[in-house]
Amino acid sequence: QSALTQPASVSGSPGQSITISCTGTSSDVGGYNYVSWYQQHPGKAPKLMIYEVSNRPSGVSNRFSGSKSGNTASLTISGLQAEDEADYYCSSYTSSSTYVVFGGGTKLTVL
Amino acid sequence: EVQLVESGGGLVQPGGSLRLSCAASGFTVSSNYMSWVRQAPGKGLEWVSVIYSGGSTYYADSVKGRFTISRDNSKNTLYLQMNSLRAEDTAVYYCARDCGSYYEGAFDIWGQGTMVTVSS
């Protein structure tokens, strides 16, 4: 069982917006603004899409945005494109001995 | 070009050992927080270990006492020594750089991954 809870799957049509949630506790998501989001295509390494809750690394499309409320962080993808179909993982710094915890991952299907 | 290239994975028997390497280019390993993250087949990501720029090291409970993270500054290379390997250690192992000012798990550079299979 992963430390952070994500929905197993979400789907949307091209052009639509979707949101993926990531729920933790006050020891991780709720306690720090150190939430990151990763995109992973099959057989590839993860790619950082969002860090520190809402910051985008250089080169990441502004269609990707992040937010946080309490113990739940969210990733929103607007203007869905076929290439967005992938697995998405959230992570957070944690005050536990684990230091970094990941969510179980969400499979995004673009219909 | 900024990149990480892992090597050293393979098939090992339960109880055996393996050392993974992660060669960096385009940046200095010793000036960054460097981590290992693994992914079992068909499963999610799991944080394994980190070495701080100052040299402090930390491990997930699942590998504590069995794995050792280290670096060779002259070779600009990160290592993961894995001993007493178990079937549940079977995974793709990634090395990654944290881009935060503090260690926060914001991994902006990842290697391509190296597969470790523990089986008799």
CA distance B60 to chain A (A): 5
The pLDDT of residue B82 is above 80: yes
The pLDDT of residue B46 is above 70: yes
Q: What is the mean pLDDT of residues B2-18?
A: 97
Measured distance CA(A93)–CA(B95) in Å, rounded: 17
The pLDDT of residue A1 is above 70: no
Measured distance CA(A53)–CA(A51) in Å, rounded: 5
CB contact under 8 A, B105 and A91: yes
A37 contact B CB<8A: no
- Give the best residue of B2, B37, B39, B45 to mutate against chain A (max A CB count within 10 A): B45
* Cα B33 → chain centroid: 12
**pLDDT tens sequence across A65-111:** 999 999 999 999 999 999 999 999 999 999 987 789 999 999 999 99
A91 contact B CB<8A: yes
- Give the best residue of A52, A89, A100, A102 to mutate against chain B (max B CB count within 10 A): A100
Residues A58-67 as b/e (b if ≥16 CB within 10 A, e otherwise) read: eebeeebbbe
Measured distance CA(B85)–CA(B39) in Å, rounded: 15
Q: What is the mean pLDDT of chain B?
A: 96
Within 8 A by CB and 6+ apart from B87, the residues are B14, B118, B119
CB proximity under 8 Å: B 82-101 to A? 94, 99-100
Check residue B13 and report its DSSP letter. Answer: -
CB contact under 8 A, A52 and B100: yes
Neighbouring CB atoms inside 10 A of A92's CB total 29
What are the distances in angstroms from CA B73 to CA A61, B24, B51, B78, B79? Answer: 35, 10, 13, 9, 11
- Would you state the pLDDT for residue A98? 77
CB contact under 8 A, A92 and B60: no
The residue among A10 and A2 whose pLDDT is bigger is: A10
CB contact under 8 A, A36 and B104: yes
R_g over Cα of chain B: 13
- What is chain A written as a DSSP string? --SBB--SEEEE-TT--EEEEEE--TTTTTT-S-EEEEEE-TTS--EEEEBTTTBPPTT--TTEEEEEETTEEEEEE-S--GGG-EEEEEEEE-SSTTSEEEB--EEEEE-
